[in-house]
Chain A
Amino acid sequence: MASRSPSSLIARTIERTWSSFVLLMTVVGWSVGAGNYWRFSWRAANYGGGTFLLTYLIWLIIVGFPLTVAEYAIGKLGRGGPLHGPYNLAERSKKIASFGGMWMAWCCFMIMCYYWVVTGWIFYYMLHAIAGTFFAPDFDASAFWKAFGYTPVSLGVGALMAFLSILVTAFGIKGIGQVARFMFPLLFIFTVGLAIFTVTLPGAEKGLEFYMIPRPEALADPSTWMQSLSQVIWSIGIAWGFFICAGAWMRRNDDITLISFGNVVNDSAVAWMAGTAIIPLIFAISATPYEDIKAAAEGLAFIVLPQLFRKMGVAGHAYAAFFFIAFWFAAFTSLITIHETSLRALKDLGLKTPYAATITGVLAFVCGLPTALSSAWLDYYDTVWGVVGLSIGLVFIALITSYFTDIAKVRQSVMDMDIRPFVRLGKWWDYLVRVNLVIPIIFFVWWIVYGEWIRGWGVGLHTYYTFPGMVILIIGGIIMYFLISKAIEVQIRGR
């Protein structure tokens, strides 16, 4: 058996020539996308406000930084993507390690199924921001959203995004990535500007109280913990597999600890500032903010942002146009990255880029059709893959780096550079990574028990459609494991 299980598989890694700064801007550009505005404001406003922020901070320390480092380490030390990186790094249970990497790529693909929908929404809003629709005297933001969201128009715009993503990934168009690197700092500054503007509005303080003061009783609700955990990993992009891909192109002296810290703080800065711009504004403009937040659900950012620009007066039109252009670039580059991670898994299995890009793009479009037409389906996909699937991915990262290999060796290899690491990893990092073997499971079980048994069957987890989704998740996982095992054996025989 030993002769059929060599210590490493040869992965096709991409050589890169750009600097540490460009690397940071690129990976942060991937992280910052629709999740920071659309998903963060929706989840933070509906799951605890200030308590959501408190638990978010706790998750950043326990999960965010340690596992971002671990995921980059899998790619950098394993020199490969989601299939090869974990295989090469693991010293035992190599096939399960590869399965872990491919699980992340699978979740990434399933999130792509609804990410093209949201990117389409942003594109549509960008066109209207440029055209000045938001500034018509009789403009009604809620009615505008209701007339657009989940309609054939929104499906059509989303389809355009999916098609563009196939074009860019299949033909390796590089220009967009380069533009996005300059767009990220712009978007960052625009977002900070929006937050400053909102807090100066009369009535915004009530919103700040809701958004930034933790309520102890909300800590007893596992939904707050689970939703903030999923937001941390969804927004930063942990357990999607793309940090493994990025790690594979790192040079020896690229500092994983700096890039990981950069991912965590840049992404959180944009998300918290976007929250500061969006949530207090509802309190400044509405007499019934709590009801409006509930009613808006996932459309919150799209209902609030146009009203924010209207409040800016004459400058609002230009600000809205520049903001939405930068926002669309951020979302579109995230869509391309998600697409590239999914197709990288197929490339690792031996498929050529144009085929892999077309297959993943068309499949994501077909599988995501229900999410383009129904808010319940979008919530369902986001719960099964964005919350449950990614949480399982965390366990895989912890397993690969702390159980399938010697974590002390991983830690020393991460710090083995000619320059001083930004964060000196000690044994504390080993413990934090290991804690993630059980944390998602404990909180997941608590969430189910609380949601289904205490609050009533079907209340917490949207049982009737989420449980079948989880069955698909498990069956798909088993089929994937056998396919991956076969692919690895074929690649080993081919050497």
Chain B
Amino acid sequence: MAWVPFFIIAWLFVIASFYTWYRAAENEKRIRQIERR
């Protein structure tokens, strides 16, 4: 079971990837708001 830490890290990469997709979409909303002002 010593492989578990790296297995978790692999999944953390997956979760972090989804988070960057979300953040990129959120950033765009913010940029549009700023540009409208």
Contacts and interface: CB of A to CB of B under 8 A. Distances in A.
A21 B21 contact: yes
A258 interface: yes
Contacts of B20: 24, 258, 261-262, 265-266
A269 B17 contact: yes
Contacts of B5: 212
Contact of B10 (A23, A251, A273): A273
A412 B32 CA distance: 23
B21 A20 contact: no
Contacts of B10: 195, 212, 269, 272-273, 276
A53 interface: yes
A208 interface: yes
A284 interface: no
A47 interface: no
Contact of A213 (B2, B16, B21, B24): B2
Nearest to B10: A272
B17 A188 contact: yes
A453 interface: no
A253 B31 contact: yes
A422 B23 CA distance: 8
Contacts of A195: 10
Is chain A's binding surface mostly helix, strand, loop or mixed? helix
A258 B25 CA distance: 11
Contacts of A268: 13
A478 to B, nearest CB: 41
Nearest to A50: B6
A255 B6 contact: no
A262 B2 contact: no
Given A53-B6, A213-B2, A255 B27 contact: yes
Contacts of A288: none
Contact of A211 (B3, B23, B27, B34): B3
Interface in B1-37: 2-3, 5-7, 9-10, 13-14, 16-17, 20-21, 23-25, 27-28, 30-31, 34
A416 interface: no
A192 B27 contact: no
Given A19-B28, A255-B27, A265-B13, A212 B21 contact: no
Given A261-B16, A273-B14, 5 more contacts: A25-B21, A212-B7, A265-B17, A266-B17, A269-B13
Interface of B: 2-3, 5-7, 9-10, 13-14, 16-17, 20-21, 23-25, 27-28, 30-31, 34
